[in-house]
Amino acid sequence: MKYVLLLVFALSLQMGLAQDKNTKDLDSILETMPKSEGLITTFFEDDKLYFKFPEEILEKDLLMVTRLKQLPANYSAYRNAGSKTSEQMIHFVKVGKSIDLVQVLTTNVADEDDPISLSVAQNNLNPILASFPIKSEEGEDFVIEVSSFFNADSPSFNIIPDGLKSEYKIGKADDKRSRINSVKSFPENTEITHTLTFPTSNPPRGNSTNTFTFQINHSIIALPEDKMQVRYEDSRVGWFGLRKYNYSSEALKADEERLIRRWRLEPKDEKAYARGKLTEPKQPIVYYLDPATPEKWRKYFIQGIEDWNSAFEKAGFKNAIQARVAPTKKEDPDFSPEDVRYSTVRYVASTTRNAVGPSVSDPRTGEIIESDIIWYHNHLRSYRNRYLLETGAANPKARTLDTPEEEIGEMMRRVISHEVGHALGLPHNMKASSAYDVEQLRSGSFTQEMGIAATIMDYARYNYVAQPGDKNIRFVRKLGPYDDYAIEWGYRYFPNSSPEQDKDILKSFVDKRSTDPMYMFGGRGNDPNAQTEDIGDNSVKASTYGLSNLKIVAKNLDSWTTSEGEDFDNLEELYGEMLGVYRRYIYHVVSMVGGVHETLLHKGQEGIPYQAVDKTKQQDALEFISDNVWTPQYWLVDEALVSKFAESGKLESLISINKGVLNRLTIAKRLNRMWDTHSTLPGNGLSPQELLDALVKDILTSRTTPDQVERELQKHLVHQLIELEKDKDLALELKGHSLSLQNELLSNFKTKMNTNTKVLKAHYGYMMKMLEEALDD
Domain residue spans of the chain = 16-222, 270-588, 589-776
pLDDT confidence bin for 338, thresholds 50/70/90? low
What would the mean pLDDT of 61-86 be, rounded to a whole number? 81
Q: Specify whether the CB–CB gap between 569 and 646 falls below 8 A.
A: no
Q: Specify whether the CB–CB gap between 430 and 524 falls below 8 A.
A: yes
Q: Specify whether the CB–CB gap between 144 and 133 falls below 8 A.
A: yes
Q: How many Cβ atoms are within 10 Å of 98's Cβ, its own excluded?
A: 13
Query: What is the model's pLDDT at position 554?
Result: 97
> What is the rounded distance in angstroms from the CA atom of residue 595 to the CA atom of residue 525?
9
> What is the rounded distance in angstroms from the CA atom of residue 261 to the CA atom of residue 424?
8
> Does the pLDDT value for residue 655 go beyond 70?
yes
* Cα 65 off chain centre by: 19
Per-residue pLDDT tens over the stretch 660-675: 999 999 999 999 999 9
Question: Rounded mean pLDDT of the chain?
Answer: 89
> What is the rounded distance in angstroms from the CA atom of residue 632 to the CA atom of residue 41?
72
Q: What angle do CA 96, 99, 105 make, to 5 degrees?
A: 110
> What is the rounded distance in angstroms from the CA atom of residue 572 to the CA atom of residue 567?
10
Instruction: Please return the burial class of 234, using the count of CB atoms within 10 Å of its CB with bins 0-12, 13-18 and 19+.
Output: buried
What would the mean pLDDT of 639-650 be, rounded to a whole number? 87
> What is the rounded distance in angstroms from the CA atom of residue 637 to the CA atom of residue 655?
11
Q: What angle do CA 69, 72, 77 make, to 5 degrees?
A: 90
What would the mean pLDDT of 133-162 be, rounded to a whole number? 86
Query: What are the beta bridge partners of residue 196?
Result: 214
Please give the model's pTM, rounded to 2 decimal places. Answer: 0.88
What would the mean pLDDT of 391-417 be, rounded to a whole number? 94
pLDDT confidence bin for 17, thresholds 50/70/90? very low
Least confident segment among 178-192, 238-252, 328-342, 359-373? 238-252
Query: What are the beta bridge partners of residue 368?
Result: 361
Least confident segment among 100-114, 313-327, 550-564, 620-634? 100-114
Query: What is the model's pLDDT at position 120?
Result: 46
Please write down the HEC assignment for all residues of 641-694: HHCCCCCCCCHHHHHHHHHHHHHHHHCHHHHHHHHHHHHHCCCCCCCHHHHHHH
> Does the pLDDT value for residue 15 go beyond 50?
no
Of the ranges 2-16, 108-122, 639-653, which is most confident?
639-653
> What is the rounded distance in angstroms from the CA atom of residue 519 to the CA atom of residue 413?
23
Q: Could you tell me the maximum CA-CA distance found in the chain, to the nearest angstrom?
A: 122
> What is the rounded distance in angstroms from the CA atom of residue 597 to the CA atom of residue 530?
9
Query: What is the model's pLDDT at position 188?
Result: 87
Q: Specify whether the CB–CB gap between 203 and 220 falls below 8 A.
A: no
What would the mean pLDDT of 267-286 be, rounded to a whole number? 96
Q: What is the DSSP string of 15-83?
A: HHHHHHHHHHHHHHHHHHS-EE-SSSEEEEETTEEEEEEEGGGBT--EEEEEEEEE--TTS-TT--TT-
Query: What is the model's pLDDT at position 357?
Result: 67
Which DSSP symbol is given to 439?
A: G
**pLDDT > 70 in the chain, percent:** 90
